[in-house]
Amino acid sequence: MGSWDALLSGKVAIVTGGSRGIGRQDALALAEAGADVVITDILLESDEGSAQAAQQYGPLEQVMVSGKVVYAEKTAKEIEAMGRRALAIKMDVTDREQIAETFRLVEAQFGHIDILVNNAGMLDHVAQIEQQNDAFWERDLKVNLTGTYNCTKAVWPYMRQQGWGRIINMSSVAGTLGGFGQASYSATKGGILSFTKSMALEGARLGINVNAIVPGIIATEAWKMGNPKMNERMVQRTAFHRPGDPEDVANAIVFLCSEKAKYITGVGLPVSGGIELFTF
């Protein structure tokens, strides 16, 4: 059956939105399983333009920059300390030319691209429909849904040529259950699930498996900054009555990227603590 410690030995992974939270943990877990990892994000610790990028994309990104909750380059160094190759690159998933340039760079430096984790996303737009910010609606569509499309389309030729690939798209229980005051976020996360199924059908004959993760309440830095009373209400809805850890999502991703999941494609795997169950 092989060792779980070397599940992804020799593979090269790209994780978008990897500067913190789930994306950061995804990158670390993939490296622990043997992969070399490229972390992309609009925010890098050493980039003087991060504040401007944060200003462009909204309040949550601004808080992360001002609070120095940006760990893309730090994560790359941690991966290198494991004996893997790693790189942190500034990349905007809404910029198709920048994506193409980044993927060409990765292939040139690492030789191939085997795994893509479409993790980059925005989740700070919370308002009922009459107060929904039209600009944030467009932003969420552009980053969450079209960003996933952009990166998938860009990586597809690399995976098709080698006859092997794994793409993991990040959805949410908001995309399966809906979210009060989360029209834009829920719509994009639901769209990602349909996109995943379509890509799974196209990829099946090419050796490309495409799956989605459907996280529930995960204790990331952003979640911990939320309203404590609201957080507690959400946690109490889960079967476990506790939030998940970023590692819970990352472990599922490692499995889906491995040969142990070679006959799994087109699924939306809940990592949700049973939040979609009838709990009381």
Q: Could you identify the residue written with the tokens 């490692």?
A: 254
Contact between residue 219 and residue 25 where contact means Cβ atoms under 8 Å apart: no
DSSP annotation string for 5-19: GGTTTT-EEEEET-S
Q: Is 185 among the residues known to form the active site?
A: yes
Catalytic residue among 71, 158, 185, 263: 185
Distance of alpha carbon 192 from alpha carbon 171, whole angstroms: 6
Determine the angle formed by the axes of helices 183-203 and 147-162, rounding to 10 degrees. 10
User: Is 223 within 8 Å of 174 (Cβ atoms)?
Assistant: no
DSSP 125-150: --B-GGG--HHHHHHHIIIIIIHHHH
Contacts of 235 (CB under 8 A, 6+ apart): 217, 241, 242, 243
Q: Does residue 196 contact residue 116 with C-beta atoms inside 8 Å?
A: no
Question: Among residues 125, 166, 164, 165, which one has the least CA distance to residue 144?
Answer: 125
Backbone φ and ψ for 12, nearest 5 degrees, come out as -120, 125
In angstroms, the Cα distances linking 50 to 62, 105, 129, 174, 190 are 9, 21, 31, 28, 29
Q: Residues with catalytic annotation?
A: 185
